[in-house]
Amino acid sequence: MSSVRSASRSVRLLAANLGTRSSILLSRPLTASPRVLRSAGVPSTGIARPSVAIASLPASGGLRHASATTPAGSLKQTQLYDVHVANGAKMVPFAGFSMPLQYSDLSHVESHHWTREKASLFDVSHMVQHHLSGPGALEFLMKITPSSLDKLKPNTSTLSCLLEDGTGGILDDTVITRLSSDTFYFVTNAGRRAEDLAFLQAEIDIYRTKNGTESITWEILDDRALVALQGPLAASVLQNYVKDSDLSTLYFGNCRSLTLTFPDGSTSAEPLLVSRTGYTGEDGFEISIPTAKDSSLPRKVTELLLSNPEQVRLAGLAARDSLRLEAGMCLYGSDISTSQTPPSASLTWLVGKERRDPATANFNGAATILPQVASPAKTLSQRRVGFTIEKGSPAREGAVIVDLNDESRAQIGVITSGLPSPSLGGVNIAMGYIKNGLHKKGTEVGVLVRNKVRKATVTGMPWVESKFYRPKA
């Protein structure tokens, strides 16, 4: 099967999976069905998949949404929905929203390559934007995350995660930006909105009870749109419309409030929060667009960035998924969940080095996480790793990993994400969890694909080198 045909099938499967994930509760063990295992002569040994709990988007509870008004029970629409439809998008359900999977001008593979070679614009307005401020903001965030946020300088960001109290399980991954000493902006996943908001509200209530109601002010920025401009041309394209700031001094993990200038000389009604970050492994920006003074600003900004189609095209969920997997980035609900702590998800680096002293660590789940950081070989049963798999049908989420050296083909792990890599000419890549001790690079294992055991090799991630824009050494 050619890489293009494989990738086309990947799009169809992704569309089907997205529609399912956004509307039902998934909590099955991460193993193949007994029938599939029996047909291949593979016994299950109880390697558990990350527990996935993605519920449909709940009622607003009085919160405003950055979306069009829709009848009760129907999918929400981002502020750019009409732009997607006008550009021939294939719309699919995702996290309670109608989101673009791909567009009529480019196939999934073409869109993927366009992002790697030029620049693509992604609508990520479905994600939840938060603003947290007050004298207790820093202390509060350091309670619910393992990151050394006190070391962040103003206008800098870090990838982090919300931690379940007691277990240290990952409730969600998030990017947290420190805007000032006591003001923070962070973004969480749309598919975890209900769980995240309930968690944050409960934790804030506890904190306010101890420290006063004025200690924390929390705002959900549902009036803002969010777009991601990603690719090697992203900086030069954006610089054309930024007249008062030099983007060559805005490095990965930094942000600025910037005003855009339109071709007629007018400027954006409000500054945009521009962060040099992304989910593709390419250089790029995530742009938070306010609408308080101009409700049409998201559309205007999008049309401005798309004004040269030889440089920038729209891209959807299909390209976003293959790009992030090549970059070795996790998808919540597939690769990480509350069943994983940062160390078991190979995200130990999220735990700040200054926060690893058991005598002083006070973040959620520290008693569970810190022993795993100190002695992973003794405390972890599984590790998240990458795999390169032999030619043939790709290994998909849920495919069982088996030990080639064991005649009984005992299950030793499970695939959580997988597809043919467009950047590598269709080479089958995958991410998953494997039994501790078998996680080292070069280890050969088997993966059950369509009832056949295919050879796979544990591979370092990312498969495609990240091109984040950093200061020169």
Residues placed in the known binding site for substrate: 286
Residues placed in the known binding site: 286
* Token code pair at residue 407: 């005649």
Q: In what order do the strands lie in the sheet with 119-123?
A: 255-258, 272-275, 284-289, 225-230, 119-123, 312-314
Decide the pairing of beta strands 225-230 and 170-180.
unpaired
Give the orientation angle of helix 317-326 with respect to helix 3-21, to 10 degrees: 110
Among 279, 247, 232, 251, residue whose Cα is nearest residue 115: 232
